[in-house]
Structure 1
Amino acid sequence: MEIKVTQQAAKRIRRGYPLLQKQDLLDRIKENQWLDFVDKQGNLVAKGYLGVQNNGVGWCLTTKDRPLDHAFFVELFFKARQRRQECYQEKQTDAFRLLNGAGDHLGGVTIDKYADFAVVSWYNETLYNKQDEIMAAFKEVFPEIKGIYEKLRFHTEQTQSRLLWGMSAPEPLYIKENNINYAVYLNEGLMTGIFLDQREVRKLFAEGFAQGQDVLNMFSYTGAFSVAAAAGGANTTINVDLAKRSLKKTQEQFLANQIPLSSQTIHVMDTFAYFKYAQKKQLTFDCIILDPPSFARNKKKVFRVAKDYGELIESSVAILKDQGVIMASSNAANVTSKKFQNMIEKALQNENVGYKLIKKFRLPQDFVVDAAYPAGDYLKVYFYQIKKD
């Protein structure tokens, strides 16, 4: 089946841009269809599908005139595996991304490796409906995978998480990253317990970036940054997260690495409430880690990175030691790296402190980004050293 796209869309697609928006389509058509996208003259522009997700209505998978069949997906997975040969050779880490959606030319799905298991995340129903064919190709290229879990990240009445194929993973499953153990749960909702895109940042801490320092980890989730910092010689860590599960989950991560809990504090409370508490108690820190979700809500406040990140920076300055470091991180795709950096520095200027950008990170190599689709390069991590006196 064919559908016509605008002249502008055709130009973008031929340059390699894979994502389609509603306004790119000249014909009205139902979603959940695999299609040939053609220009006004009827010439093939790309092959792909329509499937609504939060950032568009469809994806182009190839500009070549070839069937999107088993052989196509096998070739696609084979190329994805080749791009990650260094990851396979790294013996200190056994958890990384195997397929990064549009970065590997299959927009709408990601696949992560956790030791001998895989987690596939589907972002729209169209691609999900082709899962049998896609997973058959995946298993052919990645025969070492013993079990596959799936996460449905689109609106559906179906169960969001389940074992799709093969062996069940132990709970917890212990993965290894930079020679540190992390406990993950592959079938507890949409989350697993660790964000694999922050691997290189955690490595910095594991190698001693915060050695001998007091570290405050805000929005700490399961405390992965703190575990890396403690393994790298941090003096103390304080972990703050509003979710009740964070207490037990964070303790579990420290214990998995024989790190004494006596030097680690875990607060189940609102981040902004903790800032006030720390100021009142005159607590100060050498390093403050800020890695909030793009959007968060509690009973009193709604937090959005694009609107409220500056408040986090200003609150951090008040409880940071002179020459201390703020690690500012965001995975908000709607905030460019330039905008994010400007937000941070404007907040620091509001606090009348000196600052120096000392380190920055983007996505690790397994989170492949296609140069034609820069929106896929969503992670931004900046380390600022702050001069207060």
Structure 2
Amino acid sequence: MKNKVKLQVKKNFEKSFQAGFPLISKDAIVNESALQKEGTLIELQDHRGQFLGKGYYGIQNKGRGWILSFDPNEEIDQELFTRRIEQALAKRTSFYEDPHTTAFRVFNGEGDGIGGFTLDHYDGYYVVSWYSEGIYQFKDYVIKALTSSVEVKGLYEKKRFDTKGMYIEDDDFVIGERASFPIIVKENGMNFATYLNDGAMVGVFLDQKDVRKTIRDNYAKDKHVLNTFSYTGAFSVAAALGGAKKTTSVDLANRSKPKTIEQFSVNGIDYEAQDIIVEDVFNYFKYAVRKKLSFDMVILDPPSFARSKKHTFSAAKDYPELLKQAIAITKKGGTIVASTNCSTFDMKKFKGFIDKAFKESNGAYKIVEEFSLPKDFQTISTFKEGNYLKVAIIQKI
């Protein structure tokens, strides 16, 4: 496709690439100044000039691109993209055949062999998310590979990188037929209203599907459930469908209330029987303590980083303190669903946060279940950061 730029890797990074690590970081490259235009094909070499891998240049956080092949004879071309996407689709056959789940991930970046973009399926429609201007240069390859492999009603895209004044389509529509929104998708028999033309977040986070099903099937019955950082209330819907006495959804965003009302409504749930509160979660915790409120289940799924007028939250630093506030309003014998999508620490460290929070609360606990990404979110062992989701279902003893 294009001329390759040869990059020398620093000696202390060579072993990780030899072991199959796919992300090219800024710190790993000796001659980073050789990189000019995103989308340029690159070849990595060790200090002796020996081949390590080939990929493309694209700025994604601290990354400077992804290795797409560790085979010196494999070309980065249309055939490679088609082959990888076909392989990914084949792994999701069970999802395509399941009438109870019509929303799922079909291509998970580096987990499926091409870092920098993802593909999600919503009842015949698809959304491609681009995470760098570099991978966006391969847009035609991706579209051709997808449309030649599976029937696509319509395709929408999300540019998750700084577009620097580039024209962005108002509704992110790319090809096919425009959808009528909302698209009501199914997930393990639950309904969710989705909007593929409404910014980066379409209405439901697909990576939590196993957790929602477990809450519905095993934990919600006859419980009063508090869902914090509730977004569109998907966990609340799962709890209500599982027989919860009542759900309380709390989120700072004004749009969370109408969105949550909609999600209850498309599932035939009386939203007026639930509490939907637009409030800073940290303020709500203080209110709950002041009013001596307590819950049978508290769901904690904060963003990795969040800022409100009075609070700044970083999961890597502040999760134990947040969890302590949840512990304080969880009934003895109750359940806390502690979740984080922060990729900078692993499950071992997350369990350390849980232990710290309970010790400082003078409380006892038991982790009864753990979750990471569902099987449609394919990951690889050589890139542990890709398996970012950590969920612990905790019983307060």
TM-score bin (small chain): over 0.9
Q: Does 2:102 correspond to 1:91?
A: no
Q: Which runs of 4+ in 1 moved over 6 A?
A: none
Is contact 2:82-2:141 (8 Å) kept?
A: no
**1:139 aligns with one of 137, 147, 150:** 147
Aligned position for 1:30: 35
**What is residue 352 of structure 2 aligned with on the other side?**
342
1:139-288 equivalences under 5 Å are 139-142=147-150, 144-156=151-163, 157-158=165-166, 159=168, 162-288=172-298
Q: 1:130 aligns with which of 138, 146, 149?
A: 138
Q: Offset at 1:208?
A: 4.0
Alignment partner of 1:61 is 2:68? yes
- Give, in whole Å, the separation in 2 of the partners of 1:334 and 1:43: 31
1:318 aligns with 2:328: yes
State the shift of 1:335 in Å: 2.1
CA–CA distance in structure 2, aligned partners of residues 37 and 114 of structure 1 = 37
How far apart, in 1, do the equivalents of 2:388 and 2:202 lie?
20
**Does 2:8 align with 1:4?**
yes
- The residue type paired with residue 232 of structure 1 is G
Residues in 2 aligned to 1:224 and 1:80: alpha-carbon distance in whole angstroms: 27
Per the normalisation by structure 2, the TM-score is 0.94
**Post-superposition shift, 1:167?**
1.2
SS in 2 for 1:154: coil
| Aligned residue in 1 for 2:58 | 51
Give 1:313's aligned amino acid: L
Deviations 1:144-171 (A, max 9, x none): 2211111111111232861111111221
Query: For the Cα contact (< 8 Å) 1:363–1:378, is it kept in 2?
Result: yes
Structure 2 unmatched ranges of 5 or more:
none
Counterpart in the other structure of 1:18: 22
Cα distance in 1 for partners of 2:344, 2:235 equals 24
Partners in 2 of 1:342 and 1:9 — Cα distance?
A: 29
Q: Distance in 1 between matches of 2:114 and 2:141?
A: 14
Give the corresponding residue for 1:382: 392
Deviations 1:217-239 (A, max 9, x none): 00000000010110111110000
Structure 1 residues 182-208: Cα deviation after superposition (integer angstroms, max 9, x where no partner): 001101111101100000000112224
- Greater shift, 180-189 or 312-321, is seen at 312-321
Report how many aligned residue pairs link the two structures.
Answer: 386
State the TM-score, normalizing by the size of structure 1.
0.96
> Aligned partners of 2:61, 2:181: CA distance in 1, in Å?
31
Pairing 1:96-135 to 2, within 5 Å after superposition: 96-135=104-143
Q: CA deviation at 1:385?
A: 0.6
Identity, % of aligned pairs?
Answer: 44
Question: 1:240, CA displacement in angstroms?
Answer: 0.1
